[in-house]
Amino acid sequence: MRRFFLVQLILVITSSAFAQHNNLADTIMLHEVVTYAPLKKYQAGAKIEPIPGDQMIIGQAGSIDQLLMRFTPVYLKSNAGGLSTIHLRGTSPNHTSVNFGGININSLTLGHSSMSEVPVFLFDEIDLQYGSSSAINGSGSIGGALHLGLANNWTNGMKLKTTLSEGSFGEQLYGAKLFAGNGRFESVTRLFYFSLKNDFPFNNPKIGDVEHPGTIRDRQRGAAIENEGVIQEINYRFNEKEALKSALWLEHDWHEIQLTMNEIWTPKVPETLDNKHIRFWSEYENRKNPLNIRGGLGYVHDMQVYDGDKKQKIGTNRLIAEIEGRQDISTRLGYKLGVKYQYIKPDVYAYSADVIKQEQQADFYFSSFYTAWNRLKLTLNLRQLFVTNFEAPFTPSLGAEYRVFSTDYSVFKLNGNISRSYRIPTFNDRYWGTQGNPNLKPEDGMNYELGLNYALCKENIQSDVKLNVFYMDVKNWIEWRLGAVDWTAQNVMEVESKGIEFQSNTDWTVNKLKFNFRINYSFNPVETIKDESPTGVTGRQLLYVPKNIGNTYLRLNYQLWNVFADGGYTGKRFADYSGSYYMPKGYELDSYFLANCGISRKLSLFKQSVFLSFALNNILNTDYQNERFYAMPGRNFRIGLSTDINIH
């Protein structure tokens, strides 16, 4: 019923728009990049990469995990169901913050977000920050951070964007964005609905105690997904330097917990996870005086229900307030300082009210930049978090960028960054029943990074090549280990992550043909160098972290046609450390290569823009596992229709 209502709403709005096609509004598109530019301003030497717009369009029918797996050198552990977690530079999912406005949307109980529950369609910009950034983003940003951005268009008139797509195995997406404003006031409504039956066929090998000869053909069941959400923005611009912006994000994500290859053969009924989220962020900014003021207020409600049992609720409520002052003393020197306060009240059936009723957190931070000789830029960031009944470390970072040389058509830069990072334990780590450990120490890391960046810009070709080397050491790494009686959270490990990342992006124009070619590659050994547990394992690659991962992307644009192809390689990963005669170091999942392609065409219908697209995924029909014993879909397709309509 929800899906039917949403489809009808989109069709009615679209029909109304086409009926008025002769009167086009003058829509002013002054895109303010709300994430990338401010972050780079105070983080010289940090590696922050925006996801290109054409790749955002390709990925708009899915969630952010598919986007990152296909177009970045980042590994995500995922199955075909509703669970997908990021392992940025070999760290755990708890070590990457996911930021929306002034909110880190990661669960305060689990410590991370499922990337399959973050829809690409709702956002205009997605920036990926590699490496430690706790001095900027706070607790948890040991491996890096994701920034979800909404562009401020300050629409004058009305504009409607819609998308509908159908795909294999019952995949459906319906989405709409409605922009309305007068150049000063703007309302933006973004809504989407996504569902997937996930009833794909797969090769089921002889596993577990199931006796059947070799590999047989099975069909997945118990992996259905249904996600829906809306973001409502209300923005008002008093003048060019003063504005109030608000965004309310409502999200409902439901999925069956995917049955394993063994469980397919049993009569087991799949269990379910139901997540509901309310996220609100409002921000006022005043840049009329030398000291610019920015203030924000936020509220977050997260609630998870396991298998429909409302007695086992896992939820939290957060109130957030932030005030910040910024001043550019000159074009070469500037600073900002601020404080961020959070009041957190958990609502978790497994927590005792005698142990935790509420928690308060206050971050004090300072950032500055200085440019010397028009070649060298230095930045300094300082942060101190205060937490109720917990001691968090002081967190500094220092970054630098140096322009080695520049000509009329090329630039070569060196950049570097040294930063400390930390993560306070999750509520589950500290307070879950009798297994939580309130005496845990915060995870504490150091990150060192050096990068080279060469950019070439000529009449028919533009190219950007980046090479980064990094080293990260994280002490007091927290894991849940089996103790004398039960599983408990413990500080047991010291982890060392190091590696090389290579990225290149080239645009080439030949007459009316436009090419874009990208390459990403990461070599990332990540090992435990100290383990205080009696059964600890050292000197081996961490579980579900490939040493090698890479992908490539080619797009061809000719007039109104776009054609693309991309392919990604994921190396071997340890799934456990159990060891056997054939695999003495533990069970390793095989490496795999996935290839995808697609084509799209822009049409003009009643003087409005219409886009038709077709994509073919896993075109080689690769049989692989991204998580042990969980099947993944083979070759599949998606066909889509999108519109971009001006309304009077």
**CATH code of the domain covering residue 304:** 2.40.170.20
pLDDT number for residue 494 = 95
Q: Into how many domains does the chain fold?
A: 1
pLDDT number for residue 303 = 97
Over residues 281-335, the pLDDT tens digits come to 999 999 999 999 999 999 999 999 999 998 889 999 999 999 999 999 999 999 9
pLDDT number for residue 587 = 87
Residue 534's domain comprises: 2-647
Q: Which helix (H) or strand (E) holds 481?
A: strand 461-482
> Tokens in use for 305?
């229900």
Over residues 338-397, the pLDDT tens digits come to 999 999 999 999 998 888 999 999 999 999 999 999 899 999 999 999 999 899 999 999
Q: Please state the rounded mean pLDDT for residues 577-606.
A: 85
Confidence class for position 9, pLDDT limits 50, 70, 90: very low
pLDDT number for residue 39 = 78
Burial bucket for residue 179 (CB in 10 Å: 0-12, 13-18, 19+): buried
Confidence class for position 610, pLDDT limits 50, 70, 90: very high
The whole-angstrom separation of Cα 289 and Cα 269 is: 62
Cβ neighbours of residue 531 closer than 8 Å, sequence gap 6 or more = 492, 493, 494, 537, 538
Assess whether pLDDT exceeds 90 at residue 646.
no
Nearest to 545 by CA among 51, 64, 134, 95: 95
The whole-angstrom separation of Cα 39 and Cα 42 is: 6
Q: Please state the rounded mean pLDDT for residues 13-20.
A: 36
Could you tell me if 397 and 418 are in contact, meaning their C-beta atoms sit under 8 angstroms apart? yes
The whole-angstrom separation of Cα 415 and Cα 374 is: 15
Cβ neighbours of residue 15 closer than 8 Å, sequence gap 6 or more = none
Name the least confident of 79-93, 291-305, 475-489, 520-534: 475-489
Q: Please state the rounded mean pLDDT for residues 487-513.
A: 94
pLDDT number for residue 605 = 83
Positive/negative CA dihedral, 405, 409, 411, 412: negative
Cα-based angle 104, 317, 110 (whole degrees, multiple of 5): 55
- What is the share, in percent, of the chain residues with pLDDT greater than 90? 80
Positive/negative CA dihedral, 524, 376, 328, 383: positive
Q: Facing residues of 213 across strands?
A: none
pLDDT number for residue 579 = 67
Could you tell me if 482 and 534 are in contact, meaning their C-beta atoms sit under 8 angstroms apart? no
Cα-based angle 38, 452, 595 (whole degrees, multiple of 5): 85
Instruction: Provide, for the chain, the percentages of residues in helix, strand and coil under a 3-state DSSP scheme, each rounded to the nearest 5.
Output: 10, 55, 35
Over residues 402-438, the pLDDT tens digits come to 999 999 999 999 999 999 999 999 999 999 998 999 9
The whole-angstrom separation of Cα 215 and Cα 232 is: 49
Written as one letter, the residue type at 446 is M
**Alpha-carbon 135 to chain mean position:** 19
Could you tell me if 403 and 375 are in contact, meaning their C-beta atoms sit under 8 angstroms apart? yes
The whole-angstrom separation of Cα 219 and Cα 264 is: 8
Assess whether pLDDT exceeds 80 at residue 573.
yes
> Tokens in use for 453?
């960046």
Confidence class for position 485, pLDDT limits 50, 70, 90: confident
131 φ/ψ sector (left φ>0, alpha ψ -120 to 50, else beta): left
Q: Please state the rounded mean pLDDT for residues 620-645.
A: 95
Mean pLDDT of the chain: 90
Name the least confident of 204-213, 480-489, 542-551: 204-213
Positive/negative CA dihedral, 485, 487, 491, 493: positive
pLDDT number for residue 578 = 75
The whole-angstrom separation of Cα 6 and Cα 10 is: 6
Over residues 241-262, the pLDDT tens digits come to 999 999 999 999 999 999 999 8
Positive/negative CA dihedral, 61, 64, 66, 68: positive
> Which one has a higher pLDDT value, 539 or 477?
477
3-class SS of residue 578: coil
Written as one letter, the residue type at 75 is Y
Could you tell me if 566 and 596 are in contact, meaning their C-beta atoms sit under 8 angstroms apart? yes
The whole-angstrom separation of Cα 204 and Cα 630 is: 10
pLDDT number for residue 83 = 87
The whole-angstrom separation of Cα 65 and Cα 48 is: 18
pLDDT number for residue 581 = 57
The whole-angstrom separation of Cα 34 and Cα 281 is: 14
pLDDT number for residue 647 = 81
Over residues 184-232, the pLDDT tens digits come to 999 999 999 999 999 999 999 866 554 555 678 899 999 999 999 999 9
Q: Please state the rounded mean pLDDT for residues 47-70.
A: 94
pTM metric for this prediction: 0.91
pLDDT number for residue 207 = 62
Confidence class for position 21, pLDDT limits 50, 70, 90: very low
Q: How far is CA 409 from CA 346, 375, 403, 510, 518, in A?
A: 56, 17, 14, 19, 20
Assess whether pLDDT exceeds 80 at residue 566.
yes
